[in-house]
Amino acid sequence: MVAFVLKRLVGLALTLLAASFLVFVVTEFSPGNVARKTLGAYATPAQVDLLYQRLKLDDPLLVRYGRWLGVLTGILRDPLQDPDLKLDFRDPRGDRYFGNFGYSTLFKAPVNDVIWDRLKNTALLAGIAFAIIVPLSLVLGVLAGMREGSWIDRTISIFGIVTTSIPEFASGVFLFVIFGFWLGLVPGTSPLTTSAGWSIASQLLLPVLVLVLYDSGYVVRMVRGSMAEVMNKPYIRTAILKGLPHRAVVTRHAVRNAMIAPFTIILLQINFLISGVVVTETVFAYPGFGRMLLEASLSKDISLIEAATLIALTIAIVTQLLSDIGYALLNPQIRLS
């Protein structure tokens, strides 16, 4: 088990390395450069050229990637913080430390000052959504799957298909019009401040609802499929034939076995949640990680994109790892290898 986890952690590090390089390569195709983004729209070409040279931006891609890695690991100084550049870029943590993601050209602040608070806000949003999606989907999925073809099954399945067909941007916008604008029950944006008289809970309501609607449809269908399959297994049929009450068969035997496959799916939802979060946070002006990532991508703030991608990847890969371990625990027949 320890060896397995260690092996996966090494894999995680390698994946992160490869992915960060990939991001570097992709952003390379875009016009413009860090110098221009750092100085802003109105800097003269001469100023931009000067900074371009000082940051050695015409070095080959690999050299620059190496430099970025050096700054991240604390081996090299962050070149943007060089006082000679007179940019007034200062990081209270210093210009050389491990985990230095560099300077965000969009926010003109150290990435570490920008990113963690937003991640916390997103964790709140996604955490609540996740805490609703999982039990809701399990209950609905089991209800639908235990009597395949019944009216309950039909209703729940159709509901699941319909909600996964409504993109978050559409549901978000229309839910606001109905509950926010027409009924005045919830606020239109979620800045997570209470000075305007709206509670934090009321601000979380619509964003959570949007995430739950879209994602639970998918999980419900997974659980249902798995449940229906298990209910058709000979040992369940035997149990029913032996005269055990239907309810007991479902709760004691079927559910546990039906959970194995969806368990993986549910944990992979974290990845889906991050996608949904970008849209939801944009629609509701929620001060989170997703909206920041979108803004960083649109303005090609490479330091911020890199940091955000690495964090998102780490979350995704760690949950994959957890899902693998959990899968093994649920199903003793599978050996971790």
For other proteins, which is the closer residue by CB, 263 or 284?
Answer: 284
Number of neighbours of residue 207 by Cβ within 10 angstroms: 27
The least distance separating other proteins from the CB of residue 255, rounded to whole angstroms, comes to 20
The least distance separating other proteins from the CB of residue 81, rounded to whole angstroms, comes to 13
Number of neighbours of residue 98 by Cβ within 10 angstroms: 9
For other proteins, which is the closer residue by CB, 18 or 248?
Answer: 18
For other proteins, which is the closer residue by CB, 43 or 152?
Answer: 43
For other proteins, which is the closer residue by CB, 150 or 251?
Answer: 150
Angle at 287 between CA 122 and CA 171, to 5 degrees: 75
For other proteins, which is the closer residue by CB, 40 or 135?
Answer: 40
The least distance separating other proteins from the CB of residue 244, rounded to whole angstroms, comes to 25
For other proteins, which is the closer residue by CB, 40 or 245?
Answer: 40
The least distance separating other proteins from the CB of residue 183, rounded to whole angstroms, comes to 11
Burial 223-257 (b: 16+ CB within 10 A, else e): bbbbbbebbeeeebeebbeeeeeeeebbeebbbeb
The least distance separating other proteins from the CB of residue 99, rounded to whole angstroms, comes to 20
Interacting residues of 28 by C-beta distance below 8 A, sequence separation 6+: 61
The least distance separating other proteins from the CB of residue 62, rounded to whole angstroms, comes to 18
Give the Cα separation of 244 and 238 in Å (integer): 9
Give the Cα separation of 261 and 222 in Å (integer): 8
Nearest to residue 289, comparing CAs of 307, 302, 301, 272?
A: 307
Nearest to residue 328, comparing CAs of 10, 9, 5?
A: 5
